[in-house]
Amino acid sequence: MIVSKAPFRMSFAGGGSDLPSYYRQEEGAVLSTAIDKYMYVSVNKKFDGDIRLSYSITEDVDRINKLKHPIVRNVLDMLNIPGGIEIASMADIPSKGSGLGSSSSYTVALLHALYAYNNKHISKNELGRLASHVEIDLCGEPIGKQDQYAAAFGGLNLIRFHSDESVSVDPIICKPGTIKRMEKSILVFYTGRTRSASVLLSEQSENIKRGDKRVLMREMVKLAYDMKYLLETDDLDAVGELLDKNWKLKCQMASGVTDFQIDAWYNKGIQAGAKGGKLLGAGNGGFMMFFAPPENHSNIISAMKGLRRIPFLFDNNGSQIIIYQSNNRGV
């Protein structure tokens, strides 16, 4: 049996510049962190030649092309694993439509587990590249590349997206105390709402082709670099204001990013003492994040009555194999 885990991610600034409609014209950049909430994937050899796949439903099929799950179907075909395998997954928190990059965490964890199943090593960079290829090229999802690399690498990073399709992951070099203060300043709440990132990102991708929206995206990329500087110089006082600027720019990128209810939650958080924040992911549901001095947290928690607070820490390890029992498969 093989068990892998890949972290979810929380992005702070620059989201959307990882879409090809932007980075193929000018370099994109996102500042994000992996968090200690994970997608787990287990893989085991099956006694017969069939495939059993368990997620929100269970599929029992005798051929790859009968699988309904597009990521698993494409990954098994790409890795030339015809059958005789059982795959299951679970997550620490609600994942689908959460804004935490769950589908990419699943893809990364699946690839990592299947490479180990074949007794092969795969680098973090190759995990990010292959996961992006599976989701974007093979499954046809209109998404970017930040989530796959965040899940593969872990840590707090500036992730840059180049016109030649390559990706650079630059760790934020800062004092350990800065990271701890950052963690203690952030509050995350589950809104109870989910949404399709694909729909929002499709609209945003089309909008980026327009000059006025590209200008907004360019400003969000600049904010990612500004935040990198703040963290590296241990200056967290302006982080909340920066997050607030990024959120207000993001709300202009597509029509469904926010709505009356999301605006109401956000404004309540600001009025209760948050310096800034954002809805995580593409928008319109999932998790809401606030940045605030710890002494204001109790007021913000009271203001968010009805929403579940999710405690978290940053993850530094990225995707990992946590159980490896060789099945004598592969070379």
pLDDT band at 29 (very low <50, low <70, confident <90, very high): very high
- Residue that the structure tokens 């928190």 belong to: 93
3-state secondary structure (DSSP) of residue 158: strand
102 and 7 in a single domain? The answer is yes
With left for phi above 0 and alpha for psi between -120 and 50, is residue 157 left, alpha or beta? beta
77 and 215 in a single domain? The answer is no
CATH of the domain at 216: 3.30.70.890
57 and 155 in a single domain? The answer is yes
CATH of the domain at 153: 3.30.230.10
Domain membership of residue 329 (yes or no) is no
SS3 of 51-67: the string is EEEECCCEEEECCHHHC
37 and 113 in a single domain? The answer is yes
124 and 241 in a single domain? The answer is no
pTM for the structure as a whole = 0.94
17 and 159 in a single domain? The answer is yes
pLDDT digits (tens, 9 = 90+) for 266-319: 999 999 999 999 999 877 788 999 999 999 999 999 999 999 999 999 999 999
Domain membership of residue 114 (yes or no) is yes
144 and 14 in a single domain? The answer is yes
* Structural domain count of the chain: 2
The domain containing residue 137 runs over which residues?
2-173+316-324
Does the structure show a pLDDT above 80 at 75?
Answer: yes
Token pair recorded at residue 318: 């990225």
With a pLDDT cut of 70, the percent of the chain lying above it is: 96
70 and 195 in a single domain? The answer is no
Report d(CA 145, CA 136) in Å as an integer. 9
Pick the closest to residue 156 from 144, 143, 169 (CA basis): 169
Domain membership of residue 113 (yes or no) is yes
What average pLDDT does the segment 318-328 reach?
88
203 and 299 in a single domain? The answer is yes
In this predicted structure, what is the pLDDT of residue 80? Answer: 96
Domain membership of residue 155 (yes or no) is yes
Does the structure show a pLDDT above 80 at 122?
Answer: yes
222 and 90 in a single domain? The answer is no
Does the structure show a pLDDT above 50 at 331?
Answer: no
64 and 196 in a single domain? The answer is no
21 and 152 in a single domain? The answer is yes
Does the structure show a pLDDT above 70 at 155?
Answer: yes
